[in-house]
Amino acid sequence: MANDPTPTKLKLEPHQIVLRPLVTEKSFHQAETERFNSYAFEVNRLAGKDDIRRAVEALFDVRVIRVNTANRKGKPRRTRFRRGWTKDWKKAIVKLHSEDRISFF
C-alpha cells in the first residue's frame, strides 16, 4: 500500500476515519461466522486502506489482516416536487485476525 491514492496530505484522526459501523444482516453474518470474521464500516472518503487499518486497530484494539474498500454512489431521491441525491460514501470491509472480535452491543 505504498501507492496511496489519497489526493490530500490531510492527516485524519482515527475517529474521523471510521464514521460508523454498518449494521445489516449481511454484516452481522460475516462478523459472527468464524470463517469470515469481517466487519463493515462507513469510512471517510479521503481515507486510504492504510489509514483505515490504523484507525480500526487504534479504536478497537484488534489486529487487522485485510481491508477492502468500495466507493458507493448516491441514489436519486424525490420529495414532493424536488429531486435530489443521497451523498456518495465509502465502505470498508475489515477482516480481523481469527482470535480478535469487535463487540458493538
Q: Which residue has the higher pLDDT, 48 or 105?
A: 48
Residue 105 in domain = no
Residue 5 in domain = no
- Per the structure, the complete domain to which residue 66 belongs is given by 14-96
Cα dist from 58 to 18, 64, 87, whole Å: 11, 10, 27
Residue 32 in domain = yes
Domain count, the chain: 1
Among residues 38, 39, 47, 41, which one has the least CA distance to residue 17? Answer: 47
Residue 8 in domain = no
Alpha helix stretches (DSSP H) within 1-105: 14-17, 25-32, 49-60
Q: What is the pLDDT of residues 31-62, one digit of tens each?
A: 888 889 999 999 999 999 999 999 999 999 99
Q: Report the half-sphere exposure of 61 (CA within 13 A, side-chain side).
A: 1
**What pTM was estimated for this model as a whole?**
0.85
Mean pLDDT of the chain: 90
Residue 74 in domain = yes
CATH number, domain of 89, equals 3.30.70.330
Query: Exposed (0-12), middle (13-18) or buried (19+): which is 14, by Cβ within 10 Å?
Result: middle
Residue 75 in domain = yes
Cα dist from 92 to 20, 81, 82, whole Å: 11, 35, 32
Residue 3 in domain = no
